[in-house]
């Protein structure tokens, strides 16, 4: 919705500049007083707008995002690791992270730690019922 509004405003501005230029041509043709000033103003506006767009192209804006799980993480499960361009970012205890993105950046989420934790939990459950791992209830004197 926001994107569409921006596009509409941009189209409106371009239309206005076009209309002003066309009007100034008509005024010049009719030798009206101040027609050149009017045209100069219209040209100035269009040059300014092109300048802004050109600057945006040369200096693209970074994007800042905050990621936070919508649901609480499962108890004691480590959050996934996040890396941007191969560089690891540290996530908060509950999987939240602030990310600064530049054009061309790619984000990678890895759930390896979570998987390791799940496997280890399975091991703990298995060890509990085995004779050669776990607590050893009889060991204590």
Using CB under 8 A as the criterion, which residues of the chain lie in contact with other proteins when the complex forms? Answer: 75-76, 112-113, 116-117, 119-120, 123-124, 126-128, 130-141
Question: Which lies closer to other proteins via its Cβ, residue 57 or residue 119?
Answer: 119
Q: Residue 53 CB, nearest distance to other proteins (Å)?
A: 42
**Minimum CB–partner distance for residue 7 and other proteins (Å):** 42
To other proteins, the closest distance from the beta carbon of 77 in angstroms equals 10
In this complex, which beta carbon is closest to other proteins, that of residue 28 or of residue 120?
Answer: 120
> How, if at all, do strands 63-67 and 97-101 pair?
antiparallel
CA 25, 27, 30, 33 torsion-angle sign: negative
CA distances, 10 to each of 21, 26, 35, 126, 129 (Å): 17, 25, 26, 64, 69
Q: Judged by CB, which is closer to other proteins: 37, or 128?
A: 128
Residues facing 89 on adjacent strands:
82
Cβ 93 to other proteins shortest distance, Å: 13
Beta-carbon-side half-sphere exposure of residue 118 (alpha carbons within 13 Å): 8
Is the Cβ of residue 70 or residue 138 nearer to other proteins in the bound state?
138
List strands edge to edge, sheet with 107-110: 87-89, 81-84, 107-110
């Amino acid at each position: 919705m926001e994107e569409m509004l921006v596009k509409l405003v941009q189209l409106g501005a371009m239309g206005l500049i076009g209309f002003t230029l066309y009007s100034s041509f008509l005024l010049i043709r009719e030798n009206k007083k101040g027609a050149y000033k009017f045209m100069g103003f219209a040209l100035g506006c269009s040059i300014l707008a092109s300048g802004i767009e050109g600057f945006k192209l040369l200096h693209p804006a970074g994007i800042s995002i905050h990621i936070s799980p919508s649901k609480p993480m499962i108890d004691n499960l480590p959050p996934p690791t996040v890396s941007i361009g191969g560089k690891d970012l540290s996530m908060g205890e509950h999987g939240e992270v602030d990310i600064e993105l530049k054009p061309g950046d790619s984000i990678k989420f890895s759930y390896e730690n979570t998987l390791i934790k799940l496997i280890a939990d399975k091991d703990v459950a298995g060890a509990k019922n085995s004779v050669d791992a776990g607590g050893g209830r009889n060991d204590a004197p």
